[in-house]
Amino acid sequence: MDAQGRGRSDDIDPADQWVLNPDTGDYELRLNPPSGQPPMPGPRQGAPGRRRAPGPEGSRAAQRSTGGERPPGGRRAPGRGAPLEEDQEAPRVPGQRRRRPQAEPVPGRRRPKPKKSRAKKVLLWTGGIMAFVLVGTSTAAYLYYKHLDDNINTTDVGSAGDKGFSKDEAFNILLIGTDKRTGKGNEGYGDKGSVGHADTNILLHVSKDRTNATALSIPRDLITDIPECKTKQPDDSWKNIQGSQHVRFNTSLGQDGRDPGCTMRTVEELTGVHVNHFMMADFNAVKTLSSAVGGVEVCLEHPVNDKESHLNLPAGKSTIEGEQALAFVRTRHSFGNESDLDRIKVQQQFLGSLMRKMSSSDTLTSPTKLTSLAETATKALTVDTGIGHISTLKDVALELKKVPPKNITFTTLPVVDNPDEIVHATVVVNKTLADPVFSMIRDDVSFTEVKQKKSKEKAAQEARLKGPKADPSEVRVDIYNGGAPGGSAQSTLTWLQNTEGMSKASQLGNAPKSLAKTTLEYSPDQADQARELADVMGLPASAMKPGESEKNDQGLPAIVLTLGKDFKGAGVPIAAPSKAPKDIQKVDAGKAVCAS
């Protein structure tokens, strides 16, 4: 019997559900046969050593209708329904697994439970967002794999994103939810005339060692600068779109023809974090994904009956999907002070619950749910060309799956009300709290208490900061500007001499080349001076570069400080803090919280 004949139970491998249609000669995926219609028959199997070869007609009745004349010698031709001799083997249908003869069951004895195939084990292990890794290496499997690949929409963002995906590095993906009113039933949501602005924005950082991740929400009403960007046109040419100053963040997409690459560049300029890739979805994604997993559990401190979004839920826990799920993440007048910032918290709660549901055993052990999730996810997303293939998205999902939900921290960009407004409708960055947050993401520092895996290289770097430190008055350092803002070398010299007592410091202008990161070069006998300067400036261990020193103006050995693009100003630490600021909003995805 084929997969249909086994009753389509939830431990069926979807790869087994590709069956040959004898009418068309094609393989078809039959997950839900029409009501009242028997499943498509698969190859029949007789007693051991007496196997029938399925003919083109596919059934005994069909074989009888063809006449089935016996050829000379008393045997029917193979492939026409004739019994085979014991040493003959039934011809195989391409893409169909070969079946071994089964012994007749012994009365009173249970038939041994067949072992799960390797493909099934892979399926159950993968799970969650990796639902599209459903098949092995057969022809039918390839066709389904290609089908999922064709579902994916891509946008070429040029140099705004990476050309490929690295499984060995930390990565940052910008998740964008647009307010474009496309799709059946979405007329009542969002801005009626919207071209699709960046309504919901989350910068997802996944650590290099996969022990943790940070999801930073960026308010759509944040006032910021949008840099100049190039967008690819339908004729494959590139159009340069001018930047805008002091505008809402959500206009980084859609406005003036801007694409997701423009939003990526805006995030990078705002945070200093390189955005590797983007994933974008509209209203339909919330509805379809929540239904694909069988509903998402949410919690409310108070009952909600919102006339605008039509959300009507009691206090306590509820399971929502489809239109109700979309209403939940779109509602803003029923939570907190009715601001977009309070709606962001509700959206974070929903996404955390969705992540937990995707990684639950109920989802991971249900091929039906996994198949539905694969179809839904690939149709719902638009991604950059760097990850625009099912094989690459599979790699991304497998890396995401390594991060425990309890170590995924949702936080919101620290902001304050726009001081230029009498009636507050927009916000601006709170630099005091935001800069440490940006620094932690850039330096791959966890927002949760985790035991991070340290490579030998990282352990060796950290060891360079340990040991005795020289007196500030003994530190000889030459300062170069290697990519920092103009005047940084001079301002650092003034600060070190007048505030930190390093009178032997000097500045020598611009470095030979620009650097992304600040570096401190020193010889082994100057390690104590280097440690003192690193401590004063708040340099990370990665900035320490043991090697040869140079001579200063007096012909004396001097350590070399080159200020890179990460330099923020004299007296501002370059190294990220080891812990997140106390006053920022954050919650981990492993905990269920109630919206209020």
pLDDT at residue 593 is higher than 60: yes
Of 72 and 429, more confident:
429
Q: Which residue has the higher pLDDT, 81 or 217?
A: 217
Percent of the chain residues topping a pLDDT of 90: 44
pLDDT confidence of residue 191: 53
Rounded (10°) CA dihedral 492, 498, 502, 504: 90
572: left (phi over 0), alpha (psi -120 to 50) or beta: beta
Give the model's confidence band at 236: pLDDT under 50 very low, under 70 low, under 90 confident, else very high.
Answer: very high
DSSP code, position 29: E
**pLDDT, tens digit, 9 for 90 and up, residues 566-576:** 898 998 888 88
CATH 3.40.630.190 boundaries in the chain: 152-447
Q: Give me the pLDDT at residue 340, please.
A: 83
Share of the chain above pLDDT 70, in %: 71
What mean pLDDT do residues 511-522 have? Answer: 93
Residue 589 CA to residue 319 CA, distance in Å, equals 17
Helix 367-380 and helix 283-292: axis angle, to 10°? 170
Judge whether 173 and 280 are in contact, CB under 8 Å: no
Q: What is the pLDDT of residues 524-554, one digit of tens each?
A: 899 999 999 999 999 988 899 998 656 555 5
Question: What's the pLDDT at 89?
Answer: 44
- Among 2.60.120, 3.30.70, 3.30.1380, 1.10.3470, what is the CATH number of 458-563? 3.30.70
Q: For the ranges 12-16, 369-373, 395-399, which has the lowest average pLDDT?
A: 12-16
Beta bridge partners of 546: 522
Instruction: Give the tens place of pLDDT for each residue, 109-151.
Output: 555 555 444 444 333 333 333 343 333 344 666 677 788 889 9
Residue span(s) of the chain under CATH 3.30.70 come to: 458-563
Q: What is the mean pLDDT of residues 283-300?
A: 89
* Greater model confidence, 157 or 453: 157
CATH architecture of 152-447: 3-Layer(aba) Sandwich (3.40)
The confidence band for 486, taking pLDDT boundaries of 50, 70 and 90, is: very high
Rounded mean pLDDT of 162-190? 78
For the cut 50, the answer to whether the pLDDT of residue 246 exceeds it is: yes
Please state which of the ranges 117-131, 184-198, 212-226, 553-567 shows the lowest mean pLDDT: 117-131
pLDDT confidence tier of residue 519, bands split at 50, 70 and 90: very high
Mean of pLDDT values over 318-344 = 86
| Complete DSSP assignment for 472-495 | GGG--EEEEESSSPTTHHHHHHHH
Question: Can you read off the two tokens belonging to residue 359?
Answer: 């990684």
pTM, to two decimals: 0.68
